[in-house]
Amino acid sequence: MTDHSEHQETIQQTEHKKACVNCGASLNYNPGTNHIKCDYCGHEEVISEAISEFQELELYPYLEQMGSLSHTEKISLLNCKSCGANQHVEENYKSLHCVYCSEPLITEDSYEEDWILPGAILPFHFSNEKSVAIFQKWIKSLWFAPNILKKTSLEPHRLKGLYLPFWTFDAQLYGKYTGQRGDYYYEDERYTAYENGERVTKTRRVRKTDWSYASGDISGFIDDTLINASSQHKNKIPYKVYNWNLRYLETFDSKYLAGFITEKYTISLNNGHLESKEEAYRIANRWAKRDIGGDTQRIHSLNINLSDETFKHILLPIYISSYRYKNKQYYFYINGQSGAISGKRPYSFWKIFFTIIFAVTIIGIIIAMANS
């Protein structure tokens, strides 16, 4: 399959819009429900309950020939000339601005590309209005935040709902290991020290380790190894907001996307699989240490084998806001399920400066009064 992470470092997104049967306005997903709703006339439609559970797809057929199976389709992408982001827009969507830099997108520049359809989705659990309230409360708690940041928090259109792409991998793991088991024991040790200028002999308790050879087999099922499928935000989104509960995944339905941006994966299935194998090795290492037992362990060799490998392409919800301050872009993120918020924030030099001046002045007044 084509390795998109090598040929395309920029971001790819999709925005789905469904038309209201009554007035033709856009139907948007109503977070926390199974409805899409027209904000203009109030018409609602139910998102049909999936007939079957979402599927775990066999891994290797996709690695060999991604586009030949039924779970793939073509999407059209638009490139943002300002920041390089690539986004997909429904044909009936007349105008759109880039979700990251707010510059207008030009429909004449669209192109097509294959992608693996999402198998499951974690819908947004709360509305944009609630996310704005969470953002505003967080901003108010920040010391020395620039006034422009507080002003930004009052502009709801700056906070956008975004579905992020992830790969999940399942596999049956079998491994063999050799190593050592360490059991702690304690001995009394004599040592010399100086007290009041005199040399004295003392005794202290010292922990030591008795090492013994260990080897064995490990096996088990690895369920839903979660791999970030976006190179644009890899290692940028704070870990604090990576706390989705995957037990609430729903079978994918494009109606859940209505009114939200959806980012297309830029880390290929192949590269995601390689990263999942590294995580499988770390899991096997933990299992081997648990199998060895004792107080501490050493692993000398560990060979693993994965079988019955399957995967899913899933979408997870997040709200994102950004703004530029002193020629630097700052991003803020809210988990669309839990409401956890995090991001890098700037500091106002002048607020810090005047606070220091004020504090020095107060201290000076107190000292002057004490000496008078």
Q: What is the reported pLDDT for 286?
A: 96
Residue 219 lies in a domain: no
| pLDDT tens string 49-73 | 654 566 677 777 666 655 344 456 7
Same-domain check for residues 156 and 98: yes
Residue 163 has pLDDT above 80, yes or no: yes
Q: What is the reported pLDDT for 220?
A: 96
Q: What is the reported pLDDT for 197?
A: 83
For the chain, report the end-to-end CA distance as a whole number of angstroms: 83
221 — pLDDT class (breaks 50, 70, 90): very high
d(CA 147, CA 224): 43
Query: Strand, helix or coil at 352?
Result: helix
Same-domain check for residues 130 and 251: yes
Residue 328 lies in a domain: yes
| pLDDT tens string 122-155 | 999 998 889 888 888 887 776 666 666 666 655 6
d(CA 124, CA 127): 7
Domain of 200, in residue numbers: 182-209
Same-domain check for residues 254 and 320: yes
Same-domain check for residues 320 and 202: no
Same-domain check for residues 111 and 205: no
Same-domain check for residues 253 and 337: yes
Q: What is the mean pLDDT of the chain?
A: 78
Same-domain check for residues 161 and 200: no
Q: Outline where the chain has alpha helix (H).
A: 4-7, 59-64, 128-140, 147-152, 269-292, 349-371
Q: What is the reported pLDDT for 203?
A: 92
Same-domain check for residues 134 and 29: yes
Same-domain check for residues 250 and 115: yes
Same-domain check for residues 205 and 263: no
Residue 233 lies in a domain: yes
Residue 372 lies in a domain: no
Residue 342 lies in a domain: yes
Yes or no: say if 148 and 158 are a contact pair by the CB < 8 Å rule. Answer: no
Yes or no: say if 61 and 69 are a contact pair by the CB < 8 Å rule. Answer: yes
Same-domain check for residues 142 and 236: yes
Residue 215 lies in a domain: no
Residue 65 lies in a domain: no
What's the rounded mean pLDDT across residues 237-265?
85
Same-domain check for residues 112 and 261: yes
Number of domains in the chain: 2
What's the rounded mean pLDDT across residues 232-260?
81
Give me the percent of the chain exceeding a pLDDT of 90: 30
Residue 151 lies in a domain: yes
